[in-house]
Structure 1
Amino acid sequence: MEKKTLDVQGMSCGHCKAAVEGALKKLAGVSAAEAHLETGKVDVTFDEGKVTVAAMKEAIEEQGYDVIA
Protein backbone atom coordinates (compact mmCIF):
# COMPACT_ATOMS: atom_id res chain seq x y z
CA MET A 1 0.00 0.00 0.00
CA GLU A 2 1.11 3.50 -0.85
CA LYS A 3 0.43 6.64 1.18
CA LYS A 4 0.15 10.12 -0.29
CA THR A 5 -0.87 13.51 1.04
CA LEU A 6 -2.82 15.71 -1.36
CA ASP A 7 -3.11 19.48 -0.96
CA VAL A 8 -6.78 20.41 -1.46
CA GLN A 9 -8.08 23.98 -1.57
CA GLY A 10 -11.63 24.98 -0.72
CA MET A 11 -12.47 22.64 2.15
CA SER A 12 -14.01 24.64 4.98
CA CYS A 13 -16.59 22.52 6.81
CA GLY A 14 -17.64 19.02 7.81
CA HIS A 15 -19.58 18.58 4.58
CA CYS A 16 -16.46 19.41 2.57
CA LYS A 17 -14.46 16.85 4.55
CA ALA A 18 -17.14 14.19 4.02
CA ALA A 19 -17.47 14.95 0.29
CA VAL A 20 -13.73 14.63 -0.34
CA GLU A 21 -13.29 11.52 1.80
CA GLY A 22 -16.39 9.90 0.27
CA ALA A 23 -15.28 10.58 -3.30
CA LEU A 24 -11.90 9.02 -2.63
CA LYS A 25 -13.25 5.98 -0.77
CA LYS A 26 -15.53 5.15 -3.72
CA LEU A 27 -12.48 4.59 -5.92
CA ALA A 28 -11.33 0.99 -6.26
CA GLY A 29 -7.93 0.69 -4.60
CA VAL A 30 -8.37 3.45 -2.00
CA SER A 31 -8.42 1.87 1.46
CA ALA A 32 -8.40 5.04 3.58
CA ALA A 33 -8.84 8.78 3.17
CA GLU A 34 -8.69 11.40 5.90
CA ALA A 35 -9.18 15.10 5.23
CA HIS A 36 -7.80 17.74 7.60
CA LEU A 37 -9.72 21.02 7.36
CA GLU A 38 -7.14 23.00 9.34
CA THR A 39 -4.30 22.24 6.92
CA GLY A 40 -6.18 21.57 3.68
CA LYS A 41 -4.41 18.21 3.39
CA VAL A 42 -5.90 14.83 2.60
CA ASP A 43 -4.02 11.67 3.59
CA VAL A 44 -4.81 8.78 1.26
CA THR A 45 -3.80 5.12 1.58
CA PHE A 46 -4.17 3.27 -1.71
CA ASP A 47 -3.06 0.37 -3.90
CA GLU A 48 -0.99 1.94 -6.68
CA GLY A 49 -1.78 -1.05 -8.89
CA LYS A 50 -5.51 -0.23 -8.84
CA VAL A 51 -5.78 3.56 -8.73
CA THR A 52 -3.66 6.48 -9.88
CA VAL A 53 -3.01 9.81 -8.21
CA ALA A 54 -4.53 11.44 -11.29
CA ALA A 55 -7.78 9.52 -10.72
CA MET A 56 -7.84 10.63 -7.08
CA LYS A 57 -7.30 14.27 -8.08
CA GLU A 58 -10.09 14.00 -10.63
CA ALA A 59 -12.49 12.54 -8.04
CA ILE A 60 -11.76 15.46 -5.68
CA GLU A 61 -12.06 18.05 -8.44
CA GLU A 62 -15.45 16.58 -9.45
CA GLN A 63 -16.63 17.50 -5.94
CA GLY A 64 -15.70 21.14 -6.63
CA TYR A 65 -12.32 21.41 -4.91
CA ASP A 66 -8.91 22.23 -6.34
CA VAL A 67 -5.97 19.86 -5.92
CA ILE A 68 -2.55 21.54 -5.89
CA ALA A 69 0.14 19.37 -7.48
Structure 2
Amino acid sequence: MCTACACGTETARTEVPVEVGTADGKTYSVSGMTCGHCVSSVSGEIGKVGGVTGVAVDLPTGSVTVNGSGFTDEEIRAAVEQAGYALASRS
Protein backbone atom coordinates (compact mmCIF):
# COMPACT_ATOMS: atom_id res chain seq x y z
CA MET A 1 0.00 0.00 0.00
CA CYS A 2 1.18 3.52 -0.75
CA THR A 3 2.20 4.90 2.63
CA ALA A 4 2.20 8.48 1.40
CA CYS A 5 -1.45 8.70 0.39
CA ALA A 6 -2.84 5.34 1.61
CA CYS A 7 -4.53 4.77 -1.75
CA GLY A 8 -3.98 1.02 -1.80
CA THR A 9 -1.39 1.00 -4.58
CA GLU A 10 0.95 -1.94 -4.00
CA THR A 11 4.08 -0.48 -5.60
CA ALA A 12 5.31 2.89 -6.76
CA ARG A 13 4.56 3.60 -10.39
CA THR A 14 7.23 5.08 -12.59
CA GLU A 15 5.07 6.45 -15.37
CA VAL A 16 5.83 9.04 -17.99
CA PRO A 17 5.53 12.47 -16.32
CA VAL A 18 2.12 14.14 -16.41
CA GLU A 19 2.46 17.14 -18.73
CA VAL A 20 0.10 20.10 -18.89
CA GLY A 21 1.22 23.32 -20.52
CA THR A 22 4.33 24.04 -22.53
CA ALA A 23 6.21 27.03 -21.09
CA ASP A 24 9.46 26.62 -19.17
CA GLY A 25 8.86 26.90 -15.46
CA LYS A 26 10.19 26.57 -11.93
CA THR A 27 11.16 23.12 -10.67
CA TYR A 28 10.50 22.03 -7.10
CA SER A 29 11.40 18.92 -5.15
CA VAL A 30 8.42 17.32 -3.37
CA SER A 31 8.96 14.64 -0.75
CA GLY A 32 6.65 11.72 -0.15
CA MET A 33 5.17 11.03 -3.60
CA THR A 34 5.17 7.28 -4.33
CA CYS A 35 2.36 6.51 -6.80
CA GLY A 36 0.09 7.84 -9.52
CA HIS A 37 -2.50 8.98 -6.99
CA CYS A 38 0.17 11.08 -5.24
CA VAL A 39 1.05 12.66 -8.60
CA SER A 40 -2.61 13.44 -9.29
CA SER A 41 -3.13 15.00 -5.86
CA VAL A 42 -0.06 17.23 -6.07
CA SER A 43 -0.62 18.33 -9.67
CA GLY A 44 -4.31 18.99 -9.00
CA GLU A 45 -3.64 21.28 -6.04
CA ILE A 46 -0.81 23.15 -7.77
CA GLY A 47 -3.02 23.58 -10.84
CA LYS A 48 -5.49 25.58 -8.71
CA VAL A 49 -2.90 28.28 -7.93
CA GLY A 50 -3.54 31.52 -9.79
CA GLY A 51 -1.12 32.08 -12.66
CA VAL A 52 -0.22 28.40 -13.06
CA THR A 53 -0.66 27.30 -16.66
CA GLY A 54 0.83 23.82 -16.38
CA VAL A 55 2.27 21.22 -14.07
CA ALA A 56 4.69 18.40 -14.95
CA VAL A 57 5.38 15.79 -12.26
CA ASP A 58 8.29 13.35 -12.51
CA LEU A 59 7.54 10.64 -9.95
CA PRO A 60 10.90 8.81 -10.08
CA THR A 61 12.83 11.99 -9.23
CA GLY A 62 10.17 13.56 -7.01
CA SER A 63 10.31 16.77 -9.02
CA VAL A 64 7.48 19.05 -10.06
CA THR A 65 7.86 21.70 -12.76
CA VAL A 66 5.32 24.51 -12.60
CA ASN A 67 4.68 26.67 -15.66
CA GLY A 68 3.08 30.09 -15.74
CA SER A 69 3.64 33.45 -14.07
CA GLY A 70 2.39 35.52 -11.18
CA PHE A 71 2.58 32.79 -8.55
CA THR A 72 4.94 32.66 -5.57
CA ASP A 73 6.98 29.86 -4.06
CA GLU A 74 4.84 30.17 -0.92
CA GLU A 75 1.66 29.59 -2.95
CA ILE A 76 3.21 26.45 -4.43
CA ARG A 77 4.33 25.32 -0.96
CA ALA A 78 0.80 25.81 0.38
CA ALA A 79 -0.70 23.84 -2.51
CA VAL A 80 1.74 20.96 -2.00
CA GLU A 81 0.95 20.92 1.72
CA GLN A 82 -2.80 21.01 0.97
CA ALA A 83 -2.26 17.83 -1.07
CA GLY A 84 -0.57 16.25 1.97
CA TYR A 85 3.08 16.44 0.91
CA ALA A 86 6.11 18.61 1.67
CA LEU A 87 7.99 20.96 -0.60
CA ALA A 88 11.63 19.97 -0.11
CA SER A 89 13.35 22.60 -2.27
CA ARG A 90 13.19 24.74 -5.40
CA SER A 91 15.76 24.66 -8.18
Q: TM above 0.5, one fold?
A: yes
Structure showing greater Rg: 2
Does residue 29 of the first structure (1) align with residue 51 of the second (2)? yes
TM-score, normalised with respect to structure 1: 0.88
**Identity percentage of aligned residues:** 36
Q: TM-score, normalised by structure 2?
A: 0.68
Give the counterpart letter for 2:81 in structure 1. Answer: E
Say whether residues 1:55 and 2:70 are aligned partners: no
* Larger RCO, structures 1/2 (Cα 8 Å, 6+ apart): 1
Gaps of 5+ in 1: none
Query: What is the Cα-based RMSD across aligned positions, in Å?
Result: 1.4
Q: Which runs of 4+ in 1 moved over 6 A?
A: none
Distance across 1 between alignment mates of 2:86 and 2:50: 21
Cα distance in 1 for partners of 2:61, 2:54 equals 18
Counterpart-to-counterpart distance in 1, 2:80 and 2:53? 16
Q: C-alpha separation between the residues in 2 aligned to 1:2 and 1:36? A: 15
The structure with the greater share of residues assigned to helix is 1
Q: How many residue pairs align between the two structures?
A: 67
Find 2:37's aligned residue among 15, 23, 30: 15
Counting strand residues as a fraction of each chain, which structure ranks higher? 1
User: Partners of 1:41 and 1:2 in 2: how far apart?
Assistant: 14
